[in-house]
Amino acid sequence: MVAREVLSTDPQVLRDLATARLGTAYFRRQLVKVRDQDFAAPSLLPGWSRNQLVSHVGYNARAVARLVTWAATGVETPMYDSSQARADEIEVGATLRPDALRSLCEHSAIDLDVRWRDLPDDRWSVTVVTAQGREVPASETLWMRSREVWLHAVDLDVGGRFEDIPAPVLHRLLSDVAGMWEKRGELAGFTLGVEAGRSGRQVTYGDAETAAASVAGPLSHLVGWATGRTSPGHTSLEWRRGQPVEAPRWL
């Protein structure tokens, strides 16, 4: 049987799809390392167990798939019925046995990938609405999912590192965080300086003239701090102004 190919020919869609697929494979490899008896242990995501985290990643694939279905059919298909429904789904899923959680993640990821594969070029620009109420083109679902699998693979806390995440993904994560802080008026208190390093890019977020705190460091560690996973006192972070502090909430 000949494998079916991705219908889209858009170069950006194909690049973003490759990144999402690579992140899914990375999450899969990290999940394999989690022993069944360790599913109930805490993850690196504050307040979340591995059970909850894996449940979230599995059901997130189904939620993103609903947006792809919306784009494909034109029939409004929200990610979730409500924020409470999303929370309830995660909690119920967290009670599943480890083998069931592994199966949920695997099959939901495959289903989502098939829906992406079969979405033609003219449907990637269809407007859909995220769980936060943002109106975005269907192509944004690729980044929405990439962000989940790359970040939560590290959150499983079985050897995954921010350094393993491709630099373009890290840059986009940091941009997302800084954008959210700016939207809430919290970026004004900080400047974030990304050292060139392996990313080859030196980037600064925030206004150095008004910021009370200025932190610089390698891209991977800045993303870890900005997303609440890396301690502000980590040796790789240089506080050039102000004292080390926890990053503001991201999401």
Q: Beta strands of 69-220 (E only): which ranges?
A: 127-129, 135-137, 190-194, 203-205, 213-217
Domain assignment present for residue 174? The answer is: yes
Which of 116, 135, 160 finishes a domain? 160
Residue 250: C-alpha distances to residues 73, 178, 181 (Å): 33, 8, 7
What integer pLDDT is reported at residue 248 of this predicted model?
A: 92
Domain assignment present for residue 170? The answer is: yes
pTM flag (> 0.85): yes
20 and 140 in a single domain? The answer is yes
Among 2, 6, 19, residue whose Cα is nearest residue 119: 6
For the segment 101-157, what is each residue's pLDDT rounded down to a tens digit? 999 999 999 999 999 999 999 999 999 999 999 999 999 999 999 999 999 999 999
108 and 213 in a single domain? The answer is no
